Amino acid sequence: MSIDDRQPTVYGDVPATDLTLCATPEAACDRLEALYNAAIAEIEKSFNAFSHDEHTPKGPAPVYPYLAVDVTFGETRATNLAFGKVTNPGRYGTTITAPHLFRAYLIEQLSLLARNYKASVYVGKSRTPIPLTFAVERAASQMNAEQRLKLAERFPLPRLDAAHDAIVDGGKWLGPGPAPLSLFSAERIDFSLHRLRHYSGTDPDYFQNFVLFTNYQRYIDEFIVYCHNEIEAGRAQAFVEPGDRITAPGTPPSQPPLAKLPQMPAYHLVQRGYDGITLVNIGVGPSNAKTVTDHLAVLRPHVWLMVGHCGGLRANQRLGDYVLAHAYLRDDQVLDDMLPTEIPVPPIAEVQVALARAVSEITGAKGQVLKERLRTGTVVTTADRNWELRFAEQATRFNQSRAIAIDMESATIAANGYRFRVPYGTLLCVSDKPLHGEIKLPGQAN
């Protein structure tokens, strides 16, 4: 039985009200945006009144929009896609935030469900209040302790128990209510969108579908030059730097560069439909790698790749050689509780082929010459910056795993990609060979 689109109250076990049947995915997104924008406007109005000590009556808290889908298997079309499908017939639902940011993604997914299952799509109001700090960024920033206490009494604040990864990590859905339609709840997405802005220094709306991570500033410098060339040639819509410094074709930058960069600065070559490139300098270490991918996953990028430096572990490698990871030895330990190390993180064929072709195109090397410059094998990721001091204890494991390189980020990024269903890959450059006397010295990596 389908949801009654005439019913203005909670229908059965669906945690939503005012559910309306939407004729098309586009119509569903239009209603999601209208409900969300109205809720945000109401929160801003209430907060402005509160900040000016206007004592207005406290009404019901504005809530996130709710997206529900009824799926029947009567006329199912076979699909081999890894997305846009469900396992069983039934009712699915999720809370939605920032629908303008996810419009293209939602339309694509809902269109596939409608085509493959003749699914019915409904949009209404959830029963989950929108936390004030997710709606009004300046909330509490200039308030004293007494005002903050009153703020917590007047407005809903973020609940960390609602921003979880239980669905992502394979937990069995026990209900009640519809099965999850999304990997993430609205609260989890809002939490990550705000963290992305904090760590990267740019609005999440500028992140593109193709994401690169690096641990090396020179890659950032080269990317900036490349982006400016693309802008001058008219081959991109904009280049966005930390602080939302925007350079568009034919115009100067919108503002001076930031005096102090954020922890993980992001740079975006913006193309239509988010099909440009984002490069993030994640710094050093698996903790940073986990942090940025935990949050970036909510944007559902097409792929993320690690491109950076590594230590070569084989005698016949040369400085400047490339390493294409086809397996990982996860010694970083930061994801062990979420993705046990006995679960393999397999290479993705399409990504591996694309990276190998890219190396060939850029270097001009082919055949045996390419094999001498580009080596495939296991990459070790460690959390110990001074792993060399314990090499004697690790040598056997390195040999058993056929490890050819070591770094501090790649396996973490790949494992979180596997965990979050985001395609991943690793292409590194050998900057030192500590086991063979070529240790990393100042300037040598350049």
Residue 9 in any domain: the answer is no
Q: Select the more confidently predicted residue: 58 or 168.
A: 168
The model's pLDDT over 199-251, given as tens digits with 9 standing for 90+, comes to 999 999 999 999 999 998 999 999 999 999 999 999 999 999 999 999 999 99
- Same domain for 235 and 317: yes
| Amino acid at the residue 126 | S
- Same domain for 212 and 65: no
Across 184-191, average pLDDT: 96
Q: Select the more confidently predicted residue: 96 or 146.
A: 96
pTM of the model: 0.91
**Domain end among 195, 224, 258:** 195
Residue 6 in any domain: the answer is no
Residue 7 in any domain: the answer is no
* For residue 30, pLDDT beyond 60: yes
- Same domain for 128 and 239: no
Q: Are 277 and 269 in contact (CB under 8 A)?
A: yes
Q: What is the pLDDT of residue 16?
A: 93
**Domain end among 164, 195, 226:** 195
Structure letter (DSSP) for residue 177:
S
> Quick check: helix, strand or coil at residue 399?
helix
The model's pLDDT over 152-167, given as tens digits with 9 standing for 90+, comes to 778 888 887 888 898 8
The domain total for the chain is 2
Residue 182 in any domain: the answer is yes
Residue 4 in any domain: the answer is no
- Same domain for 163 and 275: no
Q: Which domain holds residue 72?
A: 16-195
Q: What are phi and psi of 211, to 5 degrees?
A: -115, 130
- Same domain for 420 and 353: yes
Give the CATH number, domain containing residue 70. 3.30.1730.10
Other Cβ atoms within 10 Å of 412 Cβ, number: 30
| Amino acid at the residue 261 | L
Q: Are 435 and 403 in contact (CB under 8 A)?
A: no
Residue 28 in any domain: the answer is yes
CA angle 286, 424, 379 (to 5 degrees): 55
The model's pLDDT over 389-439, given as tens digits with 9 standing for 90+, comes to 888 888 888 899 999 999 999 999 999 999 999 999 999 999 988 765 555
Other Cβ atoms within 10 Å of 439 Cβ, number: 12
Residue 10 in any domain: the answer is no
Between the alpha carbon of residue 146 and those of residues 53, 235, 286, 392, the distances in Å are 13, 53, 40, 58
Residue 128 in any domain: the answer is yes
* For residue 56, pLDDT beyond 80: no
Q: What are phi and psi of 122, to 5 degrees?
A: -130, 145
Across 52-67, average pLDDT: 84
Q: For a pLDDT cut of 90, what percent of the chain falls above it? A: 69
Q: What is the pLDDT of residue 1?
A: 37
Q: What is the pLDDT of residue 11?
A: 54
Question: Would you give the distance in Å from CA 345 to the centre of its chain?
Answer: 18
The model's pLDDT over 125-154, given as tens digits with 9 standing for 90+, comes to 999 999 998 988 766 556 667 777 777 778
Give the CATH number, domain containing residue 345. 3.40.50.1580
Q: Are 106 and 150 in contact (CB under 8 A)?
A: no
- Same domain for 212 and 186: no
* For residue 173, pLDDT beyond 70: no
The model's pLDDT over 342-375, given as tens digits with 9 standing for 90+, comes to 999 999 999 999 999 999 999 999 999 999 999 9
Across 328-346, average pLDDT: 96
Place of tokens 């409608």: 114
- Same domain for 213 and 181: no
Q: At how many degrees (to 10) do helices 103-117 and 25-51 cross?
A: 140
Q: What is the pLDDT of residue 6?
A: 40
Listed in sequence order, the DSSP H helices in 278-409 are 286-296, 349-363, 367-373, 391-400
| Confidence grade of residue 13 (pLDDT, cut at 50, 70, 90) | confident
Q: What is the pLDDT of residue 334?
A: 97
- Same domain for 267 and 161: no
- Same domain for 191 and 85: yes
CA angle 231, 235, 238 (to 5 degrees): 45
- Same domain for 208 and 186: no
Q: What is the pLDDT of residue 7?
A: 40
Nearest to 94 by CA among 178, 201, 213, 216: 178
**Domain end among 195, 210, 242:** 195
* For residue 3, pLDDT beyond 60: no
The lowest-confidence range among 65-74, 113-122, 326-335, 427-436 is 427-436
Q: Are 323 and 444 in contact (CB under 8 A)?
A: no
Q: What is the pLDDT of residue 164?
A: 86
- Same domain for 294 and 216: yes
Q: What is the pLDDT of residue 294?
A: 98
β 63-71/374-382 pair status: unpaired
Q: What is the pLDDT of residue 18?
A: 94
- Mean of pLDDT over the chain: 89
| Amino acid at the residue 193 | L
- Same domain for 299 and 159: no
